[in-house]
Structure 1
Amino acid sequence: MKGLYLFSLVFIFCSCVSESENESTITIEVNDFEEIKLSSEKHYFEEIINPSSLALQGDMVLISEYHNVPDEFPRIHIINSKDWTYDKPKGRYGKGPLETAIPEFIGSKDPDNFWVYDYNNRKISTFLFNDTILLASSDRKITDPSMGPISLVLAPNGNYLGSPRENENKILEFVPEGKLIGTYGKHERLKEKPELKNFQISLLNGGRFGGNPTIGIYVIASVYRDLLEIFDYHTANFISVIGSGTKLPEFEYHESKFGGMLSFAPDVPTKYQGISISEQYIFALYSGYSPLDYSNSGLTAKEIRVFDLEGNPKWRFILDRSVSQISINEQTHEIYGLTTDENPGIAVFKISKVLLE
């Protein structure tokens, strides 16, 4: 198959420490949601070049840049959502002490600090909100080989939870020093492709990972399957939410020195592109567009599917513009999204307070 789109690569191996065997499944249809249209206001900042992700911490919106931004530009931007002004840059590019290369935010409610995991440099860095220094205030190197390229979120007890890109388990738990202490959930075999091994299935099921440590609910949102996997940290139970688009996409599996990778044709539509969890609901950014659509028109996702914490469908928010990542502001009843137009910025969608009560 020519022109295949590279989705994921990375090899992660770890031994099983503990796992969850309590799993249930919910099957949904598009008609199960109440459809609501949302309009937005866009805020543009010339300092932001090619944003890759965003996170909300207090009143501050954190924006990271893609790896292809020139080295001399900062990797992180802080935006004040109270008045939508540019606060300051953070994150000097590099591989040295206190520098960062590919930052991924580890969300928290700390008013003074924020954390990023830089898997390229294999470290967790702490940044101060209130100083004007690009460098991190401290670094913590990760030595456990299980902690490779992986998205990290805080667990309720202060540990880290991660969803590895290639592993027999769905979720791994690490102590702050980076040592693996637990694993949760096994990838189920697929009747459509019984020949696939667990590591291959993990690549197919993988995608965005988010959580809310206050309530202990975490979600893996698959990029290439109509699948959400909801994990309750307190009970170690999983709920799989499977949509109507259950047909598996065609792909090829390749081995490399970095581990396995899946490749897809560029016209294969993607599913979930982002995840954000409030204290009552799961907000899943749904795509339906392919990488080819993005290349031709900048379209990534214009729909947010909202579920309760047990995976029951509530609303489909139809957006007036395409976004690539989302975050929820529960205090102001707003959704923030990174726009995918020629001059990317932050789109603000207002949600009716009545809906969320």
Structure 2
Amino acid sequence: MFKNRLVFFFTFLVLSCTHNGASETEEIKFSFDSFPSVHELTGEKYIYDSILNARKIVVKGNDLIVSNLGGGGSQVHILDRNTLSYKKGLGKIGQGPGEIRSGIWELDAGLNKDTFWAYDLNGKSFYEFSLVDTSVLAKRTIRQNEEWFLGYSMNWKSENEIISYMTRDSYKFGIFDTLGTRLGSIELWDKEEAVDEQTGYLLSSMYQGFLEYNPSNHILGHAVSQFENFQLIDLHSGESISLIGPQEYEIDYEVENQGNEIAAFLSNETIKGYSDIFIGNNSVFLVYIGKTSAQRRESGVNSDTIFEFDLSGNPKALYKTDLSIRSISVSEKDQIIYAVTSDKDPGIAVFRY
């Protein structure tokens, strides 16, 4: 019964609406041949003793902000974007004021010139750090309260609005103020009726991935990691598109009871989708995996492919990298892609496109 119900909701996913009655989601299929140009990129790689297991990277003015994937020491590192020299480490694990409870899962450039934000998923906390003062501690902390606790990401929408990917919810995304009051919702899983908590949990786990929002053009991007799907939503106009590709295959999965929960398990033969998304002012960039889990392990390559789309979802360029990469941030003005590598000696790579 659960399997048939999930197929039903996959169908509804591409027909869902936003909470304000915006237009239905348009589904677009693309292939490798859809890209008008293909480019080979050679990266300059930099390795840092202080950054042993980098996860996310963000361009902020003349700085690069890099987060660690767990471990001790500084949880966030600041590099000079022009020279790639190491500037300082920030973020101390602990339970005191300004300290990080668990570790950093995501980064957000924030809305202010001299600060950025780091999200601790396990600790359910959002930390603001300064790029200009000498303190290694967060200058401000926003904690998720009970109403907000089931949000699994945090990205600034405006001065008092934060977007979160939701679980156990009828909507994919929720909007909260800094005190944790829910202000709105985005994109119903099913436009006909509210889904129950279990179905919301099942769908949100199936579609888990990476979120990015650009407040300059109001584009919210969500890239799915477990299979090939990403979505672009214009929060100003309400227009939404779901992009599927570049390979065409059926999603093979099983749904099982686990105590009081139901969980979906994709086949090991499922081709993985994306390990990061970047929403620029003019283009959308995605790190495409395009391999099964076994192929990733055997090859030792997470991704060597970056897709570029325009903000309307039209393919612009495909980039093949000479290094395995995990996540990216882009300076469109300088035409530079900064990437966290996922090879034998992980570091930061610079690609000019």
User: In the alignment, which residue of structure 1 is the partner of 2:186?
Assistant: 184
Shift of 1:209: 0.8
**5 Å matches for 1:1-357?**
18-22=19-23, 23-33=25-35, 34-67=37-70, 69=71, 71=72, 73-100=73-100, 101-103=102-104, 104-108=106-110, 110-156=112-158, 158-165=160-167, 167-187=169-189, 197-254=199-256, 261-264=263-266, 266=268, 268-351=270-353
Q: State the distance in 1 between where 2:286 and 2:187 align.
A: 21
**2:10 equivalent in structure 1:** none
The offset of 1:309, in angstroms, is 0.6
Report the alpha carbon displacement of residue 17 of structure 1 after superposing the two structures with TM.
10
CA shift in 2, pair 1:105/1:20, >3 Å: farther
- Residues 1:91 and 1:20: Cα distance change in structure 2 (over 3 Å): farther
Note the C-alpha offset of 1:184: 1.2
Secondary structure in 2 matching 1:102: coil
Contact kept? 1:113, 1:126, Cα under 8 Å: yes
SS at match of 1:53: strand
Please identify, of 243-252 and 214-223, the stretch whose mean Cα deviation from structure 2 is larger: 243-252
Q: Which runs of 5+ in 1 are unaligned?
A: 1-15, 190-195, 352-357
Secondary structure of the structure 1 residue equivalent to 2:153: strand
- The alpha-carbon distance between structure 1 residues 26 and 83, as it changes in their structure 2 partners (threshold 3 A), is same
After superposition, the C-alpha distances for 1:221-266 in whole angstroms (9 at most, x for unaligned) are 1112221111101022211112243434333445568965444455
- Quickly say closer, same or farther: Cα 1:304–1:165, change in 2 above 3 A: farther
Looking at structure 1, the residues matched to 349 and 260 of structure 2 have their Cα atoms a distance apart, in angstroms, of 36
Identify if the C-alpha distance between structure 1 residues 146 and 265 changes in structure 2 by more than 3 Å, giving closer, same or farther.
Answer: same
Q: Is the 8 A contact 1:168 1:199 kept in 2?
A: no
CA distance in 2 between counterparts of 1:288 and 1:165 reads: 26
- Bigger drift between 138-147 and 17-26 goes to 17-26
Count of residues in correspondence between the two structures:
327
Question: Against the structure 1 CA distance between its residues 240 and 188, is the aligned structure 2 distance closer, same or farther, given a 3 Å change threshold?
Answer: farther
Return closer, same or farther for 1:302/1:141 CA change in 2, 3 Å cut-off: same
> Identity rate of aligned residues, in percent?
24
Tell me the distance in 2 between the aligned counterparts of 1:44 and 1:218.
32
State the distance in 2 between where 1:306 and 1:143 align: 37
Query: In the TM superposition, what is the alpha-carbon distance from 1:281 to its structure 2 partner?
Result: 0.7
Structure with higher RCO (Cα < 8 A, 6+ apart): 1
Q: One-letter code of the match for 2:311?
A: L
Q: Is this contact kept in 2: 1:17–1:181, CA < 8 A?
A: no
Contact 1:219 1:231 in 2 (8 A): yes
Question: Which secondary structure state, in structure 2, belongs to the residue aligned with residue 202 of structure 1?
Answer: helix
| Higher-helix-fraction structure | 2
Aligned residue for 1:151, secondary structure, equals coil
For the aligned residues, what is the CA RMSD? 2.5
Distance 1:176 1:17, change over 3 A: farther
Query: For the structure 1 residues 234 and 147, does the alpha-carbon distance in structure 2 shift closer, same or farther, using more than 3 Å as the test?
Result: farther
Letter in 2 for 1:86: Y
Distance in 1 (CA, whole Å) between partners of 2:252 and 2:223 is 19
How far did residue 165 of structure 1 move? 4.8
Segments of 5+ residues of structure 2 without an aligned counterpart are 1-16, 192-197
Query: Structure 1 residue 181: deviation in Å?
Result: 1.1
Match of 2:194 in 1: none
Task: For residue 96 of structure 1, report the CA deviation from its aligned partner.
Answer: 3.4
Cα shift at 1:292: 3.1
Once the two structures are overlaid, the 10-residue window that deviates more, 84-93 or 31-40, is: 31-40
Are 2:147 and 2:181, in contact at CA under 8 Å, matched by a contact in 1?
A: no
Instruction: Give the distance between the partners of 1:165 and 1:86, measured in 2 at CA.
Output: 38
Q: In 2, distance between residues paired with 1:102 and 1:350?
A: 31
Contact 2:152 2:166 survives alignment (8 Å): yes
Give TM-score, length-normalised by structure 2.
0.84
Classify the secondary structure of the residue corresponding to 1:31. helix
- Aligned-pair CA distance for 1:180: 1.3
The answer to whether the 8 Å contact 1:17/1:182 transfers is: no
Q: SS where residue 155 of structure 1 aligns?
A: strand
The CA deviation at 1:63 is: 1.2
Q: 1:279 to 1:259 in 2, by over 3 A?
A: farther
